[in-house]
Structure 1
Amino acid sequence: MSFSQTLRRDWLSNIRGDILSGVVVALALIPEAIGFSIIAGVDPKVGLYASVVIAVVISFAGGRPAMISAATAATAVLFGSLVREHGLQYLLAATILAGVIQIILGWLRIGAVMRFVSRSVMTGFVNALAILIFMAQLPELIGVTWQTYVMIAAGLAVIYLFPRLTRAVPSPLVCILVLTAIALVFGVDTRTVADLGALPNALPMLLLPEVPLNFETLQIIFPTSVAVAAVGLLESLLTANIVDQMTDTRSDKNRESVGQGIANIVSGLFGGMGGCAMIGQSVINVKSGGRTRLSTFVAGAFLLFLLLVLGEWVGLIPMPALVAIMIMVSVGTFSWSSLRDLAHHPRRSSMVMLATVFTVVGTHNLALGVGVGVLLSGIFFAWKVAQIFRVSSVLSEDGKARDYMVEGQLFFASAEEFLEAFDFTETLEQVRLDLTRAHIWDLTGVNAVDKVVLKFRKAGVEVEVLGLNDASATIMDKLAMHDRPDAMEKVLGH
């Protein structure tokens, strides 16, 4: 594909929709970035600068067009203890190192691990994020004036009803404009963006973190950097999958990994904290019409314009407008069909989905929740495969030989059943172990075959292993020990 074709596809194929959606996202990023800065224990400008820089850089370097990346809660919570113990400069250094780690992981093609995330884990991840997005709005819903509830209701009405009139302008943008106008004209008593913290009024400066360049500094920041890199990539790649499904397009996960690393490095150099992809803002972007890299670039560039030029006006935006948008995102993100599917989907799939949801919501740790889901998926899959396993046998007419036929997958979960299928006390002269319909997967499977062969040999029985397929023969040739001189002692332990 030529440069002009790539430029049009990635940047110029949806100009109007991308610009409008980018404007909406920029407005929605402000309270999020300020809130995440507070979580990390730093000045609001650290989160705002990070959101500007990461969004702009990822629009060029990322592998998923229309996905929004900025400062996030998932990474902010990881910086808290580092900031408390060592200060802001170490946060910036940790952000840069996290970016370097992500680039290395991208070069190692870490995106391929997404194939191990099952549909049930993805659904649980999406549902948990929807719940967390709604829970994040609770401070703006509890202990507030009655006018706030009216404003939120009005905002939701605009968001859901305005598209019936026209889709030329994103309804979330109309919501912000209408509610801001109402608040200013009628003097509505409600919180505004300015109440969250002071907005920066100057461009971020390119500076190296003021930390000693020695091994001690590396020891301090490395654990945080690894955590930020891992959590950031996990959330980014899962969000990329979601946007892939929403837009019916594909993304380059490895390029996204490298892009996230570059964005974090630049963020740290410009005084920003680490970040990653944002499911809420990405959904806002797509639902508002964003489809290309231009929408992500506009989100970052317009956010900078808002902060530097329209800071006073942005501060007047009532929080109910942004809360209404995030409630819309929460409702739209949650997979409501998954509740109906609980009744007829396989019970284990439902358990994986629910475990992912409860872990993420309970710990506010996306990586831990997905890790639990993937672990359960692996356990259930291994258990299921192990059930499709059998060993049968036939005794020869003269009673001196027995043929054992193995069917299924021989690995750690089926090895015990395999061993229990043999009678080592039977008086025989020969045993033939037929593995034509079996497949050996791991060291445990190889070791099980070793034990069977050596136990029969110890009893004076001749053993012949037959029917190994190419893959099983390869792993047996590499790892099996039953033909080695010291095999009896090593495998049987005496």
Structure 2
Amino acid sequence: MPQFRRDALAGVIVGIVALPLSIAFAIASGVTPEKGLITAIVAGFFISAFGGSRVQIGGPTGAFIVIIYGIVQEHGVEGLTIATLIAGVLLVLLGLLRAGALLRYFPHTLIVGFTTGIAVIIFSTQVNDLLGLGIAHVPADLVEKWGAYLQHAAAFDPLTFAIGAGTIAITVLMPRMLPAIPGPLVAIVLATVAVTVFQLPVDTIGSRYGGIPTSLPAPHFAWVDLATFKELLRPALAIALLGGIESLLSAVVADGSIGGRHRSNMELVAQGGANVVSALFGGIPATGAIARTATNIKNGGRTPMAGMVHAAVLLLILLVAGQWAALIPMACLAGILVVVAWNMAEVHSFIAVFRTSRYDMAVLLVTFLLTAFVDLVVAIEIGLVLAAFLFMKRMSDSTRLSELGAADGTAEKLFESELGTVPSHVVIFEINGPLFFGAAQTFAETIRQVGDHHRVLILRMRHVPFIDATGLHRLQDIIRTMERRHVRVLLTDVRPEVQGSIQDAGLPMEGRLCPDIRSAIALAGATK
């Protein structure tokens, strides 16, 4: 089969898979169902056409549900449009600034923490529709939400729950029994037919939201004043970071499946452009979707054509069969989202982190709890800061400063070659690890303990990969302090990049740099 036909077939299959997910993500985010379809069509086409991955499938994802819902509750749909627009511009800037590689260094524990927190929230938001409790206004707060569920437990509707539970069973079991057939689509078709034919008294998309438009809206530009921009910058930044990370993770997974290599910066530019276009058409934030991308690859998609066909299929469904989507039961969508939440939860990764260091565990728990109980934006901000501080602590702990050679002047025994006798007036310290602001103070305090009988201090720096401004400042302080005590400071085995930093900082290094420890000891021996 020619590749074009394989791409077209993959695009049709992915479009069918994306249909229920796009509607479900939109409703769970607090917006009308057609916005999910519009996003999958417009942003999905843009990401495939211009992205840095040949097989990436874009559209709305579960990761955005929490932050979109929060923006809509506080700023309305217009505020969401503006935040999506700002996030798109930020992503374009990140791509143009070649920041694609930087997002790869986002801590894994942070990602596991907030994705698991998002999964808990997604599941919690679906309980009302899954059990048929009939709560008109579900509280946004997680604790209050579950309190409301308990208060309305008597309203439990077995028929609604049966539809939701059946959807979960079909969605989970279908890939194992008939992998070629999308489970969510089968569940939606069966549930919709059953509800329509037997006129079952359950909530549907139509009963709650009315009909779904059968055409794309005209582009509309939302003007942003300075005050609104300031209010929405933080959530927009969270959307940009979340979208950038998820799209690049998806691209990396895709690379491993097809043996390709994506262009991370181009991917960010395309993701940004897709979000700008989505905002213009009244859509919601979009990013690369790992599950839909994997479905594309599994069904033979290897070029951007598959993603563009996927968008065209969704557009055709919207134009021709959009009116029938109003018949879909809400319990069916809730069941699909429960499965999405379980797949997002990364339970195995969550447990695995608890077997590692207490630092990783702290970042994971703080990010998870803040996401679930406070706010996703706050969780990302505090999680990043905490991860950075703990990283600096670990780096500081890894930087060792040890005195070499015995006090009686015997030769250094810790290295492979004999260096000869170290004069008694010479003291040698070896620095192991980066000399940065986290370790600079400990370094300075240790060096200041050099005895008064010493006249030469040798700093062996062969294991110092870099030195920052604080480290340079402390080094300069040590040289000045030692000079006042009439102690000469020599640096040996300095790496070229570290030596360049020292010279750029203007530190007085004339007569202080030695190529190796032997020459430093020889020079020190001539100093009395």
5 Å-filtered alignment, 1:62-461, equals: 62-64=51-53, 65-70=55-60, 72-73=64-65, 76-77=68-69, 79-80=71-72, 83=75, 88=78, 95-142=84-131, 143=133, 144-198=156-210, 199-209=212-222, 211=223, 217-223=224-230, 226-227=233-234, 229-244=236-251, 247=254, 248-249=256-257, 250-270=261-281, 272-277=282-287, 282-283=290-291, 286=294, 291=301, 293=304, 296-342=307-353, 344-365=355-376, 367-388=377-398, 389-393=400-404, 399-422=424-447, 423=449, 426-461=452-487
Deviations 1:409-461 (A, max 9, x none): 32222212212223256144333333334344211111121111111112233
Contact 1:19–1:294 at 8 Å: present in 2 too?
no
- Within 2, Cα distance between the matches of 1:147 and 1:439? 65
Deviations 1:262-312 (A, max 9, x none): 222323333x14512275xx4366458565645644554444444443233
Which deviates the most, 415-424 or 246-255?
246-255
With over 3 angstroms needed to count, the CA separation of the structure-2 counterparts of 1:439 and 1:285, relative to structure 1, is closer
Unaligned runs of 5+ in 1: 212-216, 485-494
Shift of 1:178: 0.9
- Within 1, Cα distance between the matches of 2:26 and 2:310? 13
Unaligned runs of 5+ in 2: 134-155, 410-421, 511-528
Contact 2:56–2:307 at 8 Å: present in 1 too?
yes
With over 3 angstroms needed to count, the CA separation of the structure-2 counterparts of 1:287 and 1:319, relative to structure 1, is farther
Deviations 1:106-154 (A, max 9, x none): 1111211123123333333442333233223123135152101111121
- Within 1, Cα distance between the matches of 2:176 and 2:70? 43
Contact 1:446–1:480 at 8 Å: present in 2 too?
no
- Within 2, Cα distance between the matches of 1:114 and 1:345? 23
Alignment partner, residue 464 of structure 1: 490
- Within 1, Cα distance between the matches of 2:161 and 2:74? 38
Contact 1:237–1:253 at 8 Å: present in 2 too?
no
Deviations 1:353-399 (A, max 9, x none): 3333223222341x543444444443333333333312315566875
Any idea what SS the aligned residue of 2:438 has? coil
- Within 1, Cα distance between the matches of 2:462 and 2:221? 63
Count of residue pairs the alignment pairs up: 459
- Within 1, Cα distance between the matches of 2:454 and 2:173? 82
Shift of 1:205: 1.4
Contact 1:68–1:277 at 8 Å: present in 2 too?
yes
- Within 2, Cα distance between the matches of 1:137 and 1:264? 26
Letter in 2 for 1:402: V
Say whether residues 1:29 and 2:39 are aligned partners: no
Shift of 1:400: 3.7
Letter in 1 for 2:68: A
Any idea what SS the aligned residue of 1:13 has? helix
With over 3 angstroms needed to count, the CA separation of the structure-2 counterparts of 1:166 and 1:372, relative to structure 1, is same
Alignment partner, residue 413 of structure 2: none
Contact 2:84–2:284 at 8 Å: present in 1 too?
yes
- Within 2, Cα distance between the matches of 1:313 and 1:46? 16
Any idea what SS the aligned residue of 1:421 has? helix
- Within 2, Cα distance between the matches of 1:195 and 1:437? 68
Letter in 2 for 1:385: M
With over 3 angstroms needed to count, the CA separation of the structure-2 counterparts of 1:91 and 1:354, relative to structure 1, is closer
With over 3 angstroms needed to count, the CA separation of the structure-2 counterparts of 1:67 and 1:52, relative to structure 1, is closer
Contact 2:126–2:337 at 8 Å: present in 1 too?
yes
Runs of 4+ in 1 over 6 A off after TM superposition: none
Shift of 1:165: 4.2
Letter in 2 for 1:347: R
Letter in 1 for 2:429: Y
Shift of 1:258: 0.8
Alignment partner, residue 487 of structure 1: none
- Within 2, Cα distance between the matches of 1:332 and 1:316? 27
Any idea what SS the aligned residue of 2:494 has? coil
Letter in 2 for 1:264: N
Any idea what SS the aligned residue of 1:468 has? coil
Aligned residues: CA RMSD? 3.4
Contact 2:91–2:244 at 8 Å: present in 1 too?
no
How many percent of aligned residue pairs carry the same amino acid?
23
Any idea what SS the aligned residue of 1:309 has? helix
